[in-house]
Amino acid sequence: MNKRRSGALRGLAQVGTRKKPEGSTLGDILETLGDRSFGWGFMLVGIVNLLPLPFGSNAILGIPALFVATQLMLGRRTLWLPDFMTRRSISQKKWRAGALSALPVARPLARLTRERYTRVFRGGAEKPFGLLMLVTSLVLCLPLPLTGWLPAIACFVVGIGLVERDGVIVTLGGVIALAAITVAATMAFAIYAGFLLATG
């Protein structure tokens, strides 16, 4: 019996082995990865924001997640991104670094994924879930300490679930998204309380 290979990991490997020394644009990558564009969009945002980048970079690099989540919430069938995003280039080195950062999450999930609980993807369920991911994307863009990685992981896990059409993995990503929102709210409250104490 042949072991099933994850379509998500195959797609990541396909992009990682492209021979383009000048790097690939976001549009090139999405085109290479094919359909299930919302899943790939969330995965790409997750990978990029898992890179070891300067503090505050997520305020810019998290913006594409807002586009993906908003369109998911509005019930669009395919993902659209503006030209200034799709033309943005990602070097092979950066892509490889992001993919390596995501592998500890991707590999165990890939072994567990299969197409199941597909009702999560029907009957308008994507709209409230899109709202949850929109709030998570806003959290990703906030320049708050300790709040960047969890929403990036949530985007990545949700992306894998959407690509594989696995409702369980999508739900797991939603739980991580709720945790990310809770951590951000706690951090914001702590900063606000600290400011009140300092000025009071």
pLDDT of residue 136: 94
| pTM of the entire predicted model | 0.76
Where do the structural domains in the chain lie, given as residue ranges? Answer: 7-199
Which range (27-36, 41-50, 83-92, 106-115) has the least confidence?
Answer: 27-36
pLDDT of residue 133: 93
pLDDT of residue 155: 93
Please compute the mean of the pLDDT values over residues 35-49 and round it to a whole number: 82
Show the tokens assigned to 31: 């085109």
Residue 2 clears pLDDT 50, i.e. is over it: no
Residue 70 clears pLDDT 90, i.e. is over it: yes
Angle between helix 7-16 and helix 26-33 axes, rounded to 10 deg: 140
Residue 92 CB neighbours (<10 A): 17
Residue 1 clears pLDDT 50, i.e. is over it: no
**Highest mean pLDDT of the ranges 34-38, 91-95, 188-192:** 188-192
- pLDDT by residue (tens digit) across 129-150? 889 999 999 999 987 766 778 9
Cβ atoms 184, 142 nearer than 8 A:
yes
